[in-house]
Structure 1
Amino acid sequence: MKATHPTDVAVITEGDFLKFREYFYRKTGIHFDESKRYFVDKRLVERIETTGAADFRTYFMALRFDRGSDELQHLVNAMTVNETYFFREAYQFDCMVHNMLDECVKRKPSGDRVRIWSVPSSTGEEPYSIAIYLLERWPGIDFHDVEIFSSDIDTAVLAAAQRGAYSARSVANLPAAYLEKYFAKRKDGTYAISRDLVSAVDFSRVNLTDPADCRRFRDIDIIFCRNLLIYFDDVSRRLAAEHMFESLRPGGFLCLGHSESMSRISSLFSARRFPDALVYQKPVSGDKK
């Protein structure tokens, strides 16, 4: 049997794939290796067909030189994978309310807000999980104002996060009491999150490898950046780490995914092992690393 391509309308050659991969990397910091070839080809062909381009060459020329087009953002949305659910890797949220937050507020001037940044946002499960944890499990919420920021390079998932509608699978890890308190079940079986929680999160589009995008995030106390750096190569990982380091307040914390390790990326951070989790900390001036 002859192997089939995702479609017969357009064919992505090896040369096309390499050109596109290099371009997409420069624009986003995301690197696609050969194992992602079928995925990339399929999404590229879908965008070629949607835009009505005759072939890859025509599409790619328009993508690179048509500055007024939104096609690059549509392509980014198509190429990014967003798979998450509420209370994912919850041991880090436990660490946040048991250890990290109390340590952060001890260093802060009286009345200064706690600032937490979740990146990537995906469809909102992580920042909303953070908000629920703060409301339900951190006694300090009664004494400190908190700002929650959440960012993603994909505008489609940011829009979905702000709509706040979730499948039964997405909310499966939530305690029944939280589900009843913060969600309304719809007739179609989805769950709509409280609009108060939606308004508690500041969503924005950010490319973590772009210094201009990251500049607005300063004096952050805790960053959750989980399962994003695995899509970057070494250069982009170091760049993202540097931007997060600059965004953190001295003594602030960074949480990575369970398969990620900052020790292989950058020496800027110090590892801190708490009872619930291993996290990374921006040293305070004078602290030994």
Structure 2
Amino acid sequence: MSHLSAERPAPGFPAEDVARFQEFFYRRTGIQFGQAKRYFLDRRLQERIEATGSPSLRAYLLALRFEDANGAEFQQLINAMTVNETYFYREEYQFRCLSRELMPTLAKLRPGERLRIWSLPCSTGEEAYSIALHLSENWPDLETIEVEITGSDIDTRVLAEARQGVYDARAVQNLPAPVLERHFEASSPGKWRISRAMREALAFSTVNLADAAAMRAHRGRYDVIFCRNLLIYFDDPSRRQAAETLYDSLRPGGFLCLGHSESMSRMSALFTVRKCADAIVYQRPLA
């Protein structure tokens, strides 16, 4: 997570221009910035305005709308506006639930079939790699059942880091020592790189959950989706749309795992609530 200097004053953008930008960004990503995030928003906007040589926020927004044909600058903006902070085995109880209950249930439901797991957002890779690590250490059937794990994020910068798989001490601090020894190697002082086998076993892709047209490619594809601590940045209409999109992305009988502070009961009635021994999950009904 980046920390901005409090000594540097925030730019004084006209309120109406900020409102236009917030509406534009919200429509494209589903993400809203409240007043508490105003300093962060203004500083990151100023950085992109300076980087592109735009004379004002209004000019920058016009360029995004009408001149950014390939979306390259909008992607740079997304990378600047998204905050990615995570670590391995965060909220480990959900991984225990995956290994002990969800995967055995799905293996019986779909005998002989490949099982697909989606981590969205995956940030710098810890989210998706944690799934792979926990299954490899705790689910014996992984030796005989094919499992495909994909990590996706809206931020292309963190996806590049995920593919490299290099992490500092804070990121790996919750990993048991045997797991760290088996699956990582020291790459430099205070840095560990996850094994080549793990890096090659996972796929990473750019995904915008709020882009309904692009999300159609994922319809009915996954058996388990981890979507943790993303929807807290959405408002109620965006959450409802995201819930429907996640529902559509699951195969019948598949499971959705949200963050500990998120509850599907306030977003959608499509899912069946499943109270497992280690976690509460949300299932797409079989029928």
Distance 1:47 1:215, change over 3 A: same
SS of match in other structure, 1:186:
strand
Distance in 1, Cα, partners of 2:22 & 2:153 = 20
What is the match of residue 202 of structure 1? 203
For 1:45, the aligned partner's letter is Q
SS of match in other structure, 1:215:
helix
The aligned runs of 1:57-136 (5 Å cut-off) are 57-66=58-67, 67-68=69-70, 70-108=72-110, 110-136=111-137
Deviations 1:181-207 (A, max 9, x none): 111112232111112111111111111
Distance in 1, Cα, partners of 2:257 & 2:140 = 21
User: CA-atom RMSD, angstroms?
Assistant: 1.5
Deviations 1:17-69 (A, max 9, x none): 11110000011111111111111001000111111212212212111111245
What is the match of residue 211 of structure 1? 212
**Does the CA contact (< 8 Å) of 2:28 and 2:210 recur in 1?**
no
Gaps of 5+ in 2: 1-5
1:6 paired to 2:9 = yes
Distance in 1, Cα, partners of 2:203 & 2:16 = 41
Deviations 1:142-184 (A, max 9, x none): 2200000111111111111111110100000001111111111
Q: What is the deviation of 1:215?
A: 2.2
Q: Residue 283 of structure 1 is aligned with which of 270, 282, 285?
A: 285
The aligned runs of 1:213-252 (5 Å cut-off) are 213-217=214-218, 218-252=220-254
Distance in 2, Cα, partners of 1:166 & 1:213 = 31
Gaps of 5+ in 1: none
For 1:6, the aligned partner's letter is P
Q: What is the deviation of 1:5?
A: 6.5
Distance in 2, Cα, partners of 1:14 & 1:41 = 11
SS of match in other structure, 1:73:
helix
SS of match in other structure, 1:198:
helix
SS of match in other structure, 1:216:
helix
**Does the CA contact (< 8 Å) of 1:11 and 1:56 recur in 2?**
no
Deviations 1:78-137 (A, max 9, x none): 0001010000000000000110111111111x3210110000010000110000111110
**Does the CA contact (< 8 Å) of 1:6 and 1:41 recur in 2?**
no
TM-score normalized with structure 2 length: 0.94
What is the match of residue 193 of structure 1? 194
Q: Percent identity?
A: 55
SS of match in other structure, 2:229:
coil
**Does the CA contact (< 8 Å) of 2:116 and 2:149 recur in 1?**
yes
Q: What is the deviation of 1:266?
A: 0.3
TM-score normalized with structure 1 length: 0.93
For 2:160, the aligned partner's letter is A
Aligned length: 280
